Amino acid sequence: MLENIGNPFFKREETLKELMTGNEALAYGAYLSGVRVGAAYPGTPSTQIMEKFATFPGVHAEWAPNEKVALDAGIGAAFAGTRALVATKHVGLNVAADSLFYAVYTGLNAGLLIACADDPGMHSSQNEQDNRNYAKFAKVPMLEPSDSEEAKQFAATALEMSETFDTPVIVRFVTRTSHSSSVVDVDPAAVPPPVKEIKPYKRELGKFVMVPGYARRRHPVVEERIRKLREYADSTPLNRIEPGNDALGIVASGSVYQYAREVFPDATFLRLGMVYPLPEKLIREFAGRVKKVLVIEELDPFFEEQIRLLGIPVAGKDIFPIVGEFSPSLIRQAAIQAGILPAAVSGFPAAPALDIPIRPPILCAGCGHRGMFTVLKEAGVVVMGDIGCYTLGAASPLEALHFCGCMGASIGVAHGMDKGGIPDRLVAVIGDSTFFHSGIHPLINTLYNRGKTTTIIADNGTTSMTGHQHHPGTGYTLQKQPTVKVDLEGMVRGLGFGKVDVCDPNEMDDFRKILEDHLKSDEASVIIARRPCVLQSRERRTPPRIDPDLCTNCGTCLDIGCPPLVQEEDCVSINEAMCTGCGLCVQVCPAEAISQEAK
């Protein structure tokens, strides 16, 4: 059975070539390998894995409210005997970690593939944790593809491994493998294997019930499994020596392997497709063959430390940074500095000095969050933020947020600050999708423990930052089927909140009145600030007009940070092509110089 691992099982006659991102290729590979259940919560850079998987015929794919729920669903499907796919970004695995750890003990009944995408450089994340550490921590095997073709193949391999060794298998991505496109062999005639039950489901107390008595017996099983996987790592073609000039031997995996190939075209490589557990014999063989071993890995010294423990001297983090995203340029520069590569001969003439203004991401023109933050800033309250587009309310000129930590943290942290002695009323701002993700429990906590904070659910009716995915409050499933739409207001009232208001934050006077009322209250309260995401609603009104005779160029309207408003010499102007006509600037102008046709 093991001989087949590493090769996709489907036929390759008349193959075609297609460009796919790593995310798409993984989903395609999982589908062709017979995965029929998929679950995820959207998170950059992993989002398109489940979006793509959902498009294949005969599969059930779902957005779960969060990653833990997604992983439990994937584990359940695998218990039932159906191959399953769970996708998450790196920090999502923190949320799902509890489930990951029990699934390693119980094992499964059919293959379970967890696709997990790290974000070195933090293109769209709050940290750059290296999730290879989870493999070691949870004692679960991990593969890492270096391009899209491998992503497709590794999906098949991971599912085979999962069933052979009775364990979940993680396929690790980084932004540059998730969101890079490369050529994938596509066989239009390839179809998934016919549905068959691998093993019928049966009650097995000692395997599936992790009470201490049974769990104690499962732990040795986990250790024995890792020992066998270590042997497997030495035999699988996923790990291989690529011979070159043995003066320099490079250990690398994933996208970093591709960068290093480019910078060191002549070196001998130990290419790791399986990043945990490591192939100890192969590493020793490699180290015996080359003069110098250089480990090139993004983020933590994960390989380096394990290879050092084998007693093999290596260079690694003494040359390459532990922080940030790698690139061929960065690797080349670091290698030159360390004297491994000769310095570049030709330089470029100095460029003329020119300040290029930075362009950080901003709330879109017409975004409903803008009115909310303008009023919050005006109120001068302490506002705990959360993860989503509205995190941009921390930036200038809105500057309304004091905090952003992780999904769902806003409400609990506001409650703790309240109990910790901040005398003013505390406010938590959380988006609708994030609220369903992990805001419900802290909201219950605030109520239960007699907190006095105000929670604003910024409800734009979608998961906007990741590209407008459905969630339990939208009324549609991932596969676009109509479903129950969870009623936020009814739910919050049902929990026991007495003070609950719903309003459109773009109507600033209404929102201000409600906020002031809530800030004066002595009970925990909820405001649902509801305005559909402007990118989805596509609602447009005629842009307002600025009367240059009335405009005093005071800059008040610029403080809402709306991109179409531009400071000119004598007055402010509106870029009509960008303006959605939301009318927020009309409401803030103290000179009444901005007017708009009535709705």
Partner 1 sequence: MKKIDYLLAGVGGQGTILASRILASAGLELGYDVKTAEVHGMAQRGGSVESHVRWGEKVYSPLVEHGMADYLIGFEMVETARWLTYLNNNSVTFINRFRIPPLLVTLGKARYPSEKEIENLLQSRGGKVKWLSADDMAKDAGNPAMAGVVLLGALSNLVGGGQEIWLQVIKHLVPARFVEMNQKAFLAGRDAGRG
**Sites of contact with partner 1 (CB under 8 A):** 17, 19, 21, 44-45, 47-48, 123-124, 147, 175-176, 179-183, 255, 258-259, 261-262, 327-329, 332, 348-352, 354-364, 389, 392, 396-397, 465-467, 555, 558, 561, 563, 565-567, 577
The minimum distance between CB 181 and partner 1, in angstroms, equals 4
Chain position carrying tokens 């071993």: 293
Least distance from partner 1 to the Cβ atom of residue 12, Å: 18
- Residue among 359 and 520 whose Cβ is closer to partner 1: 359
Examine residue 45 and say whether the peptide bond preceding it is cis (omega within 30 degrees of 0): yes
Nearest distance from C-beta of residue 573 to partner 1, angstroms: 10
Which is closer to partner 1, CB of 106 or CB of 462?
462
265, 215 in Cβ contact below 8 A?
no
Would you say 36 or 176 has its CB closer to partner 1? 176
Which CB, 164 or 182, lies closer to partner 1?
A: 182
- Kindly state the tokens that stand for 492: 């919050």
> Minimum distance between the CB of residue 57 and partner 1, rounded to whole angstroms?
21
Q: Which amino acid is at 95?
A: V
Cα dist. 482→48, 53, 70, 172 in Å? Answer: 21, 19, 20, 33
Nearest to 46 by CA among 102, 125, 132: 125
> Which three-class secondary structure state does DSSP give residue 210?
coil
Q: Which is nearer to partner 1, 83 or 176 (CB)?
A: 176
* Residue 149 CB, nearest approach to partner 1 (Å): 11
* Residue 434 and residue 471 in contact, taking contact as beta carbons nearer than 8 Å: no
578, 563 contact by CB (below 8 A) = yes
Give 356 or 484: the residue with its C-beta nearer to partner 1.
Answer: 356
Tell me, letter by letter, the H, E, C secondary structure of 511-528. HHHHHHHHHHCCCCEEEE
> Where does residue 22 rank: exposed (0-12), middle (13-18), buried (19+ CB within 10 A)?
buried
Q: Which is nearer to partner 1, 205 or 348 (CB)?
A: 348
578 vs 232, 365, 557, CA distance in Å?
57, 7, 16
In the complex, minimum distance from the CB of residue 326 to partner 1, in angstroms, rounded to a whole number: 9
Round to whole Å and give the CA distance between 160 and 238.
Answer: 13
Take residue 218 and report the two structure tokens written for it. 């499962």
- Closer CB to partner 1, residue 5 or residue 589? 589
C-alpha to C-alpha distance for 383 and 414, rounded to whole angstroms: 8
245-253 and 293-295 strand pairing: parallel
Smallest separation, CB 587 to partner 1 (Å): 19
Q: 499 pairs with which residues across the strands?
A: 525
Compute the chain's Rg from CA coordinates.
27
CB of 350 to partner 1, least distance (A): 8
Identity of the residue, 152 or 261, whose beta carbon is nearer to partner 1 in the bound complex: 261
Residue 202: how many other CB atoms lie within 10 Å: 9
CB nearer partner 1, residue 166 or residue 559: 559
Nearer Cβ to partner 1 (356/598): 356
Cα torsion through 234, 320, 287, 308, rounded to 10: -80
Q: How far is the CB of 233 from partner 1 (least distance, A)?
A: 24
CB of residue 432 to partner 1, shortest distance in Å:
17
Q: 385, 459, 445: which is closest to 412 by C-alpha? A: 445
* Residue placing its CB nearer to partner 1 in the complex, 81 or 328: 328
Query: Minimum distance between the CB of residue 147 and partner 1, rounded to whole angstroms?
Result: 7
Q: How far is the CB of 521 from partner 1 (least distance, A)?
A: 33
The pair phi, psi for residue 451, each rounded to 5°, is: -75, 165
* Nearest alpha carbon to residue 403 among 418, 391, 416: 391
Q: Write down the H helix ranges in 496-597.
A: 508-520, 534-537, 584-588
Take residue 598 and report the two structure tokens written for it.
Answer: 């009535």
How far apart are CB 15 and partner 1 at their closest, in Å?
Answer: 14
Nearer to partner 1, 109 or 125 (CB): 125
Among 378, 24, 350, 390, residue whose Cα is nearest residue 182:
24
- In the bound complex, what is the minimum distance in angstroms from residue 413's beta carbon to partner 1? 21
Angle at 117 between CA 188 and CA 65, to 5 degrees: 95
Query: Can you give the three-state secondary structure of 192-243, one letter per residue?
Result: CCCCCCCCCCCCCHHHHCCCHHHHHHHHHHHHHHHHHHHHHHHHCCCEEEEC
In the chain, the amino acid numbered 348 is F
Answer whether 433's CB lies under 8 Å from 400's CB.
no
Q: Give the largest CA-CA distance in the chain.
A: 82
Specify the residue, 207 or 470, whose C-beta has the smaller distance to partner 1. Answer: 470
Burial class (CB in 10 A: 0-12, 13-18, 19+), 580: buried
- Closest CB to partner 1 among residues 325, 501: 325
State in angstroms the smallest separation of the CB of 95 from partner 1.
18
